[in-house]
Amino acid sequence: MRVKLIGITVALAVAGTAWAATVRDEPIQPLQPAKVTNPGKVELGKKLFFDPRLSRSGFISCNSCHNLSMGGSDNLKTSIGHNWQEGPINSPTVLNSSLAVAQFWDGRAATLKEQAGGPIANPGEMAFTHDLAIDVLQSIPGYVAEFKSVFGSSRIDIDKVTSAIAAFEETLVTPNSAFDKWLQGDDKALNARELAGYKLFKESGCVACHNGPAVGGTSFQKMGVVEPYKTTSTAEGRSAVTGKDEDRFNFKVPTLRNVELTYPYFHDGAAQTLEEAVEIMGRLQLGRTYSKQEIGDIVAFLKTLTGDQPSFIMPLLPPSSNDTPPPQPFAK
């Protein structure tokens, strides 16, 4: 893993390597660094992303389940919500989520902005309401000043809150992976095994769904095409949104960017290792039984998708005032 400071473009001088200006013609494209047009809004969004006062308990923030120290995920099978409720689904990484066709596993939010309001008001997650969250923020002088500076108004509303969080999340891209360097013409960026893994990944059909800059996130697909997927999870997938029976068990194809950091895998978090995930995907989606060697090759390739992780100064949150409603972690 390498780090970059958000908003700072780092010029990499790679000794002995002449990078081609052109990009290889592959079903996966390199990630581009985020362009920050409104740094004040991103900073505000970062604070909100880390602020547990957006939850009823004062304990759970966006970062609790999309932990930016851990690949933008919580590395749990399913997440922990208010009052230690067991979540119904695996927390998807927030990294590169701006590239997805829609948000949540079932795509029920069209945009990051729309997504950001969901967990705040979900009784099983942050268990707050938008109105109560706004009451809290409006009572905090440091936030009032910052919203005024960013939005030109001291009146905080959920639209501004989710818009700022989305602006921060849009910066959470992870360029400069070894695979991107190879895509950009650096032949030495991948070793023979990684290249063999990519070749197999491409030729055996994984790229049919895992394609584009995010290596996924562009479509909804059925989990269990050739063989049915067996799970104790009650998540229905896309049909919960469309109401159509044929969408049952259709889930958004997850991004494979940084996949070595976002274990465990699948919507139910049932696959603990990448080897297990590759074996199951090959069998269930492609009807193919990969050998141990082949699985190792693909996993070696997948690990080349880990890019520069977002790197930033841990935000300092403006303190509550005497008028701030206290959190209610234990109230029934």
Residues at the binding site for heme c are: 62, 65-66, 82, 206, 209-210, 281
Q: How far is the CB of 134 from a second copy (least distance, A)?
A: 19
302: tokens are: 């997948």
Q: Name every residue whose Cβ is closer than 8 Å to that of residue 316 and which is 6 or more positions away in sequence.
A: none
Report the distance separating Cα 218 and Cα 195, nearest Å.
24
φ and ψ at residue 285, rounded to 5 degrees: -95, -30
Q: Name every residue whose Cβ is closer than 8 Å to that of residue 146 and which is 6 or more positions away in sequence.
A: 40, 43, 44, 47, 318
Stretch that binds a second copy, among 60-68, 148-156, 170-178, 277-285 (CB under 8 A): 60-68
* 241 lines the binding site for a second copy (CB under 8 A): no
* 71 lines the binding site for a second copy (CB under 8 A): yes
Q: How far is the CB of 323 from a second copy (least distance, A)?
A: 10
Nearest to 217 by CA among 31, 2, 8, 55: 31
**Nearest to a second copy of 205, 315 (CB atom):** 315
Q: How far is the CB of 247 from a second copy (least distance, A)?
A: 29
Report the distance separating Cα 198 and Cα 192, nearest Å.
10
User: Is 125 marked active-site?
Assistant: yes
* 312 lines the binding site for a second copy (CB under 8 A): yes
Q: How far is the CB of 53 from a second copy (least distance, A)?
A: 8
- Could you give the 3-state DSSP secondary structure of residue 297? helix
Rule CB under 8 A: which of 131-170 touch a second copy?
Answer: none
Among 26, 43, 86, 125, the one annotated catalytic: 125
**Nearest to a second copy of 102, 271 (CB atom):** 271
Residues near a second copy (CB under 8 A), total: 45
Q: Residues for the chain: how many in total?
A: 332
Q: How far is the CB of 250 from a second copy (least distance, A)?
A: 27
Which residue among 30, 57, 100, 175 contacts a second copy (CB under 8 A)? 57
* 171 lines the binding site for a second copy (CB under 8 A): no
**Nearest to a second copy of 91, 250 (CB atom):** 91
Q: Name every residue whose Cβ is closer than 8 Å to that of residue 332 and which is 6 or more positions away in sequence.
A: none
Q: Is 212:29 a contact under the CB 8 Å cutoff? A: yes
Q: How far is the CB of 86 from a second copy (least distance, A)?
A: 5
* 36 lines the binding site for a second copy (CB under 8 A): no
Stretch that binds a second copy, among 10-18, 98-106, 196-204, 313-321 (CB under 8 A): 313-321
Sign of CA dihedral 155, 159, 161, 167: negative
Q: Which residue has the tokens 């809290």?
A: 136
In angstroms, the Cα distances linking 109 to 97, 192, 284, 308 are 12, 40, 27, 27
Rule CB under 8 A: which of 254-283 touch a second copy?
Answer: 260-261, 263-264, 272-273, 275
- Radius of gyration, CA atoms only, the chain: 21
Report the distance separating Cα 76 and Cα 88, nearest Å.
12
Q: Which residues are catalytic?
A: 125
Binding site for a second copy (CB under 8 A): 1, 3, 50-53, 57-59, 64, 67-71, 74-77, 80, 83-84, 86, 260-261, 263-264, 272-273, 275, 309, 311-317, 319-320, 322, 326-327, 329-330
